[in-house]
Each structure stands twice: as structure tokens, then as C-alpha cells.
Amino acid sequence: MFTGIIESIGSIRALTPKGGDVRVYVETGKLDLSDVKLGDSIAVNGVCLTAVELPGDGFWADVSRETLHVTAFVDLKAGSRVNLEKALTPTTRLGGHLVSGHVDGVGEVISREENARAIQFRMRAPRELAKYISHKGSITVDGTSLTVNAVNGAEFELTIVPHTLAETIMGDYRAGHKINLEVDLLARYLERLLLGDKAADPTPAQGGSITEGFLADNGYLKS
């Protein structure tokens, strides 16, 4: 688990094809690795990776085909800057929100505009994730815990202050940039809980859709 508060900007030093997937070497910059052991988790642009080697100034991790398929990791190359966060501990200050490091989908930056000293971003999520994104709710973008300022369909807006721009890779974002998105854990689990016993049925388990008809049939809406 993570908090979505980025601890360091690192960079991809190497991406090595290995047995059908990829092994990546991440140079970790100012991230303190003194308490990191083999097998520990580190979020890279919001993707939870396991450290399999620790050369000193970074770590090696294996990136599966599944991760390459469902995240923007496929767009990274040697020299790409990345957001880094170590897994939280029982004494970690929870400054953002609970983040699993399991990416729900790949979004896209639509526009970038100045807003006083901040930057206003408009982003588009995959259609199937739109129902989890709410005004003033939390969303994770490339591992960064952020507050949604406006929502219009599958598009949402974020106002990013100078500190966040400096301490994350968001300063690099331009229109067309692909981003890893993780929706709020509570929203995702709430949807599943609302299904009740029907969660065991194959169709809801795969589609996971809560419709107005479903809510009415199960007593969640009053006529």
C-alpha cells in the first residue's frame, strides 16, 4: 500500500527484454534505499513493483506482460523520468489517500493551462472508470494522490500547485501524454459490496456494473 505522496523523481536507466517480459532498472535519485530490502515494493508512476536487485543507486524489477498491457509502462524508455514512492509502514503519515499500486487504466492529458501560479490540467479517463471519479474525490495519476476539481463525463480537471509540479513528473505533462490512473479504493469496493450475493454471478463479477434498475430491484432506491 502507498499514500500517493511522491518521495522522489527517478529515471529509467535500462529496459531489458527477458523471457517475453521486461526487467527494468530504476535509478532512484534522492529516494532513501537504506531501509529497502529485496522483495520490498516501490511504486513507479503508480505501478507497484518488487525490488529484485539493489545495486545501490536504484533497483531492478520485473515487469510482467500484464503490467505492460494495462499501464503506460510500455511508453517508457531509457531516460524517462518517473514518480517514486516506497510502500507505507504503520508509522507513515497518510498525507494523501490509500493507494494500492494496481493501475485501473491508462488515461490521457487533454490540455494544460496556467491558473495563476498553478497549472490546470484536463484529463480523460477510460470510459469504464468514469463512474468512480467524482467532484472533490481522490484519484491517483502516475502514483500521485490528487483531488478532482471538476468532472464532465470521462474527463476531469486537476489544479496542480507549484510544489507538486516540482516534486513530481507532472511538470513534464503536455497534451497527449499517457498517464496511469488508479481510482479511489473505497469507490471500487463499494460497488462490489452493493452487488451483495449477486457478486458471485459471472456477469456482474466481470462487468461489475451497478445500474439504476439494479439499485431499484434491491431496495437502494425508493419509488
Strand partners, 10: 82
* pLDDT band per the 50, 70, 90 thresholds, residue 212: low
| Portion of the chain with pLDDT greater than 70, in percent | 91
| pLDDT classification of 210: cutoffs 50, 70, 90 | low
In contact, 31 and 1? CB cutoff 8 Å:
no
Q: What angle do CA 79, 76, 36 make, to 5 degrees?
A: 75
Q: Quick one: average pLDDT of 17-40?
A: 95
151 vs 95: which has the higher pLDDT:
151
Backbone angles phi, psi at 127, to 5 degrees: -55, -40
Find the mean pLDDT for residues 14-23. 92
> 194 in helix, strand or coil?
helix
Contacts of 206 (CB under 8 A, 6+ apart): none
Query: Which pLDDT belongs to residue 203?
Result: 60
> Mean pLDDT across the stretch 109-129?
96
Q: pTM score, two decimals?
A: 0.86
Residue of 190 and 167 predicted with greater confidence: 167
Say which amino acid occupies 152: N
Confidence of residue 220 (pLDDT cuts 50, 70, 90): low
pLDDT of 215 strictly over 60: no
Is it the case that residue 193 has pLDDT exceeding 90? Answer: no
Set out the domains of the chain in order of their start, with CATH numbers: 8-86 (2.40.30.20), 105-185 (2.40.30.20), 186-217 (no CATH)
205 pLDDT tier (thresholds 50, 70, 90): very low
Confidence class of residue 206 from pLDDT cuts 50, 70 and 90?
very low
- Distance of alpha carbon 73 from alpha carbon 67, whole angstroms: 7
Q: Which distant-in-sequence residues (6+ apart) come within 8 Å of 26 by Cβ? A: 10, 11, 12, 13, 42, 44, 49, 58, 59, 60, 61, 82, 84
Structural contact between residues 76 and 10, judged by C-beta atoms closer than 8 angstroms: no
- The pLDDT of residue 218 is 58
Q: Looking at residues 118-140, what average pLDDT do you find?
A: 95
Distance CA 100, CA 14 (A): 25
Residues with Cβ within 8 Å of residue 170, at least 6 apart in sequence: 119, 121, 141, 142, 144, 160, 164
The more confidently predicted of residues 205 and 100 is 100
